A and B are shown apart, each in its own frame.
Chain A
């Protein structure tokens, strides 16, 4: 394992008109690291996550995936080819799953590998079987998304992202839209990924999960990283008042 970061965000800033949503943020994530980003809504944590695969482009600053700059300034056509290639290495899981409702579970998973990696149907199907096995949903392979529960949908969405063999996985509030009793099955899948040393960046509201699984926690507020450190420190002995306030509100009732 090298020490070079797999994701390197340098001086990221973003604004909509005069509204600054990200202010000069730098973040390095090493291979196998699991980083949680917490903070109140509107703090810029989702925007930062979505800047990593350039879904929400930065106003200034750089994002690097290993030795490739993700948000390179290129003419439109070249940029398109570049970003499509980069994104194949960055898996993303959304709050609202975004499974493709017109495709069954198998085709949701195999679509991109077949189109972009040139896998044959047999290879892609094999891949779908492997990934579904991993998330424990092999028996749902022929189902359509409308026939699945929220938790199952999110597990399929994770399998879909994993099928591209990404170098890093981004989770954007993956369990926020789920009924409480369905959260655990998704958390279990994420924990399992952690044990396999998948590099993960997780935007979450679940402090308990962040504490259990992550190596590092970033607390963001109003577009800046207020405080960061190992979960023991952030959760048990935060230095900043804003962090303390936030945690007091959010740890109540949890654990």
Chain B
């Protein structure tokens, strides 16, 4: 059986819908992991020990285990204890939490790298610790770590393919549905790969624009 890419166009609309879901799930998880990462970083650095410890344990666990295993726990595991999440929600939570931990790591080092003079200057003006953290330290830390966080978001886009395994009808699962009707895996997976590649190019271009924009405010 040779290759015949003319089987793909009839499914273009289905693949496009899948691609939009991929973008939606990536964007949702990206937002969750960005703000989650800031929250986790602040807790890891400043919270009292009894709050810090469970967060550290969680971070350690999520960094040391595969994302797919975490998705299985959240989707199939939580049902066992009576929490039945829709696949999309489970996917966003799984991807989001996974990258929260990675982003938090980066943001923590960003916060540590902010010059102590910045904190002193803010306190000298009369800002409280929390105000200084919120208005001065965290915004600067986040700006300085945009490039590595951007890399995480690119990895997140590609990892979003994993949620097809728990039944989210994104790009990968859409191509699988087309395959089950045409028995043409090679053509459709290559088509899906091409879609990912294009989305990836768009994401990279977007990140470069953001990086350029914040360049002078650093």
Contact = CB atoms under 8 A, between A and B. Distances in A.
Answer whether A and B touch in the complex at a CB cut-off of 8 Å: yes
Interface in B126-168: 126-129, 131, 135-136, 139-140, 143
Contacts of B120: 55, 94, 98
A127 interface: no
A84 B127 contact: yes
Majority-rule SS of B interface residues: helix
Given A146-B216, A146-B218, A100 B126 contact: no
Contacts of A90: 124
Contacts of B125: 87-88, 111-112, 116, 160-161, 164
A164 to B, nearest CB: 6
Interface string B99-142: 00000000000000001011011111111110100011001100
Which among B121, B128, B129, B131 has the highest number of chain A CB atoms within 10 Å? B121
B13 interface: no
Contact of B140 (A80, A100, A116, A160): A100
B77 to A, nearest CB: 41
A100 B127 contact: no
A86 B124 CA distance: 9
B135 A116 contact: no
Given A98-B121, A144-B216, A88 B143 contact: no
Contact of A164 (B117, B126, B129): B126
B218 A98 contact: no
A80 B123 CA distance: 10
A112 B217 CA distance: 19
A116 B126 CA distance: 8
A147 interface: yes
B113 to A, nearest CB: 12
Contact of A101 (B122, B126, B217): B217
Nearest to A163: B125
A237 interface: no
A86 to B, nearest CB: 8
A102 interface: yes
Contacts of B127: 84, 112, 115-116
Nearest to B120: A55
A116 B125 CA distance: 9
B117 A96 contact: yes
8 contacts: A80-B129, A87-B123, A92-B124, A94-B121, A100-B140, A101-B218, A112-B127, A116-B127
Given A84-B126, A87-B125, 18 more contacts: A55-B123, A55-B124, A80-B128, A84-B127, A87-B123, A87-B126, A90-B124, A96-B117, A98-B115, A100-B140, A102-B140, A102-B217, A111-B125, A115-B135, A116-B126, A144-B217, A146-B218, A164-B126
